Each structure stands twice: as structure tokens, then as C-alpha cells.
């Protein structure tokens, strides 16, 4: 994995989840942006173009599936979208299996699983 600092957007309506992810990934040297629903997240994507997005599926205003479909104009379609989907719902991962994303984190996940999934995503992004 490259040691280059990346900008990561974390989108989840659970404040405790966002705070914990922010803490762990900041310790790894990344800049962390946060949003608590898909609409806020989409606005940040439009303005900041983060390197990686970690997003929950079930959120108010705009959920992860709807958000994912709005991300198309912002990314190169020849590569995987820089997205890691976080979900506690069984079967939701199947919705994203056919999509070009970098990973799925099933809730509840450990901080070790978070770090490994983000590290793998970063490696794919720099390949």
C-alpha cells in the first residue's frame, strides 16, 4: 500500500460509527470527510471528489443504493468505483456484487477488518 495521504468520505447515519471510523483512519494519516445521509454525501462528492467513499446502505434522505447510482458522473467507468459499502443487512451485499466497487464491510465489523478493507481498496486504487 502506498503511504500517500488520501481523502476518505465516510457516510453513515450512525454518529458513533462515523466517529470511530474517523478516529481509526485519521491515525493512518488520511483526511476524513463525513456525512450522515446520502444527500450530504453526494454534495461532498461533487465539491471535494474524495479518493475513497465508505458508505452505509440504510440511511435517511438518500440511502446507499440510490447514492451509488448518482455517483456515476464523478468516476471513471473503466475502473471500479472507489466505494466500500458498509451494511448490516443480509442480502444487500448481493445488490452490489455485480457493481464495480472496491469492497463490502458487513456490520458489525472490527477495526482490523476496517483497516484491511481500506488498505486493499487503496492498493486497487493505486494499481
How do the domains of the chain map onto residue ranges?
Answer: 7-90+101-109
User: What is the average pLDDT across 96-106?
Assistant: 80
Per-residue confidence band for 86, with pLDDT thresholds at 50, 70 and 90: very high
Is the CATH number of domain 7-90+101-109 3.40.50.2300? Answer: yes
Percentage of residues in the chain having pLDDT higher than 70: 94
Q: What pLDDT is recorded for position 105?
A: 92
Specify the long-range contacts of residues 64-70, CB closer than 8 Å, at least 24 apart. 64/11, 64/38, 65/95, 66/38, 67/11, 67/38, 67/41, 67/42, 68/96, 68/99, 68/101, 70/38, 70/42
* pLDDT given for residue 15 in this prediction: 96
- Using 50, 70 and 90 to split pLDDT, how confident is the model at 96? confident
> Is the model's pLDDT at 74 over the cut of 80?
yes
The structure's pTM equals: 0.92
Pairing of the two strands 103-106 and 52-56: unpaired
Residue 75 confidence (pLDDT): 81
Residue 89 pLDDT class (50, 70, 90 cuts): confident
Report pLDDT for 97: 64
Classify residue 120 by its DSSP letter: H
Q: Is the pLDDT of residue 2 over 70?
A: no
Amino acid at each position: 500500500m502506498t503511504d500517500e495521504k488520501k481523502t476518505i468520505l465516510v457516510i453513515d447515519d450512525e454518529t458513533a460509527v462515523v466517529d470511530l471510523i474517523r478516529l481509526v483512519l485519521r491515525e493512518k494519516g488520511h483526511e476524513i470527510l463525513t456525512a450522515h445521509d446520502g444527500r450530504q454525501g453526494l454534495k461532498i462528492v461533487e465539491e471535494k471528489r474524495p479518493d475513497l467513499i465508505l458508505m452505509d446502505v440504510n440511511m435517511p434522505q438518500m440511502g446507499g443504493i440510490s447514492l451509488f447510482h448518482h455517483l456515476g458522473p464523478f468516476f471513471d467507468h473503466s475502473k471500479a468505483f472507489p466505494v466500500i459499502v458498509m451494511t448490516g443487512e443480509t442480502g444487500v451485499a448481493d445488490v452490489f456484487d455485480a457493481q464495480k466497487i472496491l469492497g463490502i464491510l458487513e456490520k458489525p465489523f472490527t477495526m482490523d477488518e476496517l483497516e484491511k478493507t481500506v488498505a486493499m481498496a487503496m492498493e486497487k486504487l493505486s494499481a
